[in-house]
Amino acid sequence: MDGDGRGTPGASDRAGAASAVSVPARRRVPAAERREELISAAVHEFARGGLHGTAVERIARRVGVAQPYVFSLFANKRELFLAALERSFHEVGDTFRRAASEFREGRAPSGCEDALDAMGHAYKALLLEDRDYLMLQHQCYAACGDDELVRAQVRHRYPELVALARELSGAAPERLDDFFRHGMALNVAAALGVEELSVSCDWVAAELRRG
């Protein structure tokens, strides 16, 4: 009691007031949405560690779920790796489609003479802007060496990219050959952090001088 006979608010009163404040319920993430989050995390982690060097726990932790939950959506680590592989090839395909569309609409970068030029320019930009997709490509090709399922999936998806480039550009086979050879060279150059792989380019000469 205080001096005028009224009760002084105590701990129980404060607790009651706190309980009256509504706490937002934690949103339950649908499995389909969580699956997409895991694939995005897998792209990032597999790009660095590859199929055999990446722990699923790292991917789970990146998304904020327990490892057993990952295996409720993917049968095993290889299946998650294949999902990341699919995401990578889809991203390249979408890059080709956007570039071809921009060329048709007159919005391609200057110097692009046709849709194939625009697609090559966009692909180079993708390699520079998102290193995860670049390094995941290398990890996919590396995994082909000892995993037949990965090799089969890459061998299936690569010709689909070739067919898509032909459909979008209408280029002759010889031009497409050059386009994809140059694309592979770009992959290596981007991984090395250099602009080109020519035997006469400055960085090659500098490395040779270093002995």
Q: What is the pLDDT of residue 27?
A: 75
Q: What is the pLDDT of residue 24?
A: 58
List the pLDDT tens digit at each of the 211 positions of the chain: 555 555 555 555 555 544 545 555 567 889 999 999 999 999 999 999 999 999 999 999 999 999 999 999 999 999 999 999 999 999 999 999 999 999 999 999 999 999 999 999 999 999 999 999 999 999 999 999 999 999 999 999 999 999 999 999 999 999 999 999 999 999 999 999 998 999 899 999 999 999 7
Residues 6+ apart with CB under 8 A from 112: 103, 118, 121
Report the distance separating Cα 92 and Cα 156, nearest Å.
15
Both structure tokens of 165: 């480039």
Q: Say what the alpha-carbon torsion angle 199, 203, 206, 208 is, to the nearest 10 degrees.
A: -40
Quote the radius of gyration of the chain (alpha carbons, Å): 26
Q: What is the pLDDT of residue 108?
A: 96
Residue with tokens 């009691």: 1
Task: Yes or no: say if 31 and 63 are a contact pair by the CB < 8 Å rule.
Answer: no
CB atoms within 10 A of CB 154: 19
H/E run at residue 37 = helix 31-53
Closest by CA position to 50, among listed 117, 145, 175: 145
Q: What is the pLDDT of residue 22?
A: 56
Q: At what angle do helices 131-143 and 77-104 cross, to 10 degrees?
A: 130
Domain definitions of the chain by residue range: 77-193
Both structure tokens of 170: 């209408």
Report the distance separating Cα 96 and Cα 108, nearest Å.
12
Report the distance separating Cα 99 and Cα 20, nearest Å.
55
Report the distance separating Cα 101 and Cα 37, nearest Å.
28
Q: What is the pLDDT of residue 8?
A: 54
